[in-house]
Amino acid sequence: MSASKNTLLRELPNVHESIQFLSALESLKGIPLKRLKFCTRLYLNELRQTLLADQDTVKKLSDKKGILDALALFIQRYHRPHFKKVINGTGIIVHTNLGRSPLPESVLDWLHVLTEGYCNLELDLETGKRGSRYQHVESLLCELTGAESGLIVNNNAAAVFLTLNTLAKDKEVIVSRGQLVEIGGSFRIPDIMDRSGAKLVEIGTTNRTHYHDYQQAITPETALLLRVHCSNYRIIGFTSDVPARELAQLGKAHNIPVMEDLGSGCLIDLSRYGLAKEPIVQEIVASGVDIVTFSGDKLLGGPQAGIIIGKKPLIDQIKKNPLNRMLRIDKLTLAALEAVLRLYLDEGRVFEELPTLEMIATPEGSVRARAEYFVETYTAQLQDHCHFDILSTFSQVGGGAVPEQNLPSWAVTVQPINLRISQLEERLRHTAVPVLTRIETGELLIDMRTVADEEMPALAASLHSALLLKP
């Protein structure tokens, strides 16, 4: 053991003297004593371990005062809420790591009204008796999609699992090899299938699956024909798959239900905004598919939820599955989902009000104007520390929708004067309002498609503190 390591170990304050020091600090005012003690023990234990293992990482700490100051800074940061508002400068609209779809203000106001006190979550106000929490949202879903019936669970992964478990436990489910997808977060169709109790029957090849492949695989054990939307990849070139309509007919002829896991679940045709045509929910329902599942927080633009719609007898069966209760959503989600779906009743309004759709629909010229405005407004304030420019770039929809598809966009580029680009990128993640950026060909880009007008002052403030290094 080196001498300085020993010195530092001897210098380590005990909890009692630490608390005496911390209690007098203005920066830690209001933090309960119990939490101060908890954080102090956490910090001192870790520091002791580090000192015993490797002294290099604690070189900065020279004496007891140094340790106490570092402890105070640690607690100040540790006590901040974990969740922070961040600014999304990545240009990825449905960004799973950043909470997917932002909710509109009108929906948040509504949540406030509903959840501040009590609400009629499971009470039928007509009769005064117990009602269903899902009824209203279910009717809306049916109105918007043309489905007979519907059900909402925690997320789309749960929707797929619950459907398979209800309709195909101990039976066979036929899936094309080209559709055995893995999406992020360990959701893999074969694994979900296995856990649900259904037996996977793979047919066709990676690039081509034909009608007769399905036909030949049908046995008395077949419970379901499953299509899975290739949400985050494309198979291109010499390919073939069986359209929903044909599969629905095959299922009908054999009295076997057909399910489509759509993933993103878009209710509006986005091809007029320059995107490739994604299947829209209403079309899949109209094609005769019996069950359709999709997410609430991808292209739909709502809260996290899994939506199951389809033929009433099948949905009724799924509703009765005891697992349904375990995948139940709470009143906040339900209220937000109802409010978001109500926006879809008016197609003009939904593009103005729902941030996810609004960001997709914003014309390239408006994004450019936003980038120019930012540069003009904040250059004077920051020109001693960085140079701004604007750059033509591409945004992405994200969330496993329209992969490989780029939306023309504009970014503000930031060239710091006294920092490396990678340092600025890192510092921007540690400001009071962190900013997530993209580094491309050696430049730091802030894609203005995913930055709201109201966020520009906060963006400038974060840049300012990152460039000047204020914690």
Ligand X SMILES: *Cc1c(COP(=O)(O)O)cnc(C)c1O
Binding site for ligand X (CB under 6 A): 155-157, 160, 181, 183, 187, 228-229, 231, 261, 263-264, 295, 306, 400
Closest to 443 in 3D by CA, of 413, 409, 412, 410: 413
Please name every residue paired with 87 in a beta bridge, in sequence order, or none if there are none.
Answer: 435
Distances (CA, A) of 349 to 28, 255, 346, 355, 441: 46, 41, 5, 11, 39
Nearer to ligand X, 308 or 444 (CB): 308
Backbone φ and ψ for 80, nearest 5 degrees, come out as -65, 150
Nearer to ligand X, 88 or 156 (CB): 156
Q: How far is the CB of 240 from ligand X (least distance, A)?
A: 20
Alpha carbon distance 34, 362 (integer Å): 50
Q: Which two tokens stand for residue 306?
A: 């899994």
Q: How far is the CB of 156 from ligand X (least distance, A)?
A: 3
Q: How far is the CB of 96 from ligand X (least distance, A)?
A: 7
Please name every residue paired with 410 in a beta bridge, in sequence order, or none if there are none.
Answer: 392
Q: Which two tokens stand for residue 58?
A: 């604690």
Question: For 260, how many CA atoms within 13 A lie in the half-sphere containing its CB?
Answer: 30
Q: How far is the CB of 54 from ligand X (least distance, A)?
A: 40
Nearer to ligand X, 71 or 152 (CB): 152
Nearer to ligand X, 200 or 375 (CB): 200
Q: How far is the CB of 184 from ligand X (least distance, A)?
A: 8
Unique residue bearing structure tokens 């007919």: 249
Nearer to ligand X, 360 or 456 (CB): 360
Nearer to ligand X, 157 or 407 (CB): 157
CB 465 within 8 A of CB 416: no
Alpha carbon distance 371, 390 (integer Å): 7
Residue facing ligand X at closest CB distance: 263
One-letter amino acid at 335 equals A
CB 323 within 8 A of CB 165: yes
Q: How far is the CB of 217 from ligand X (least distance, A)?
A: 21
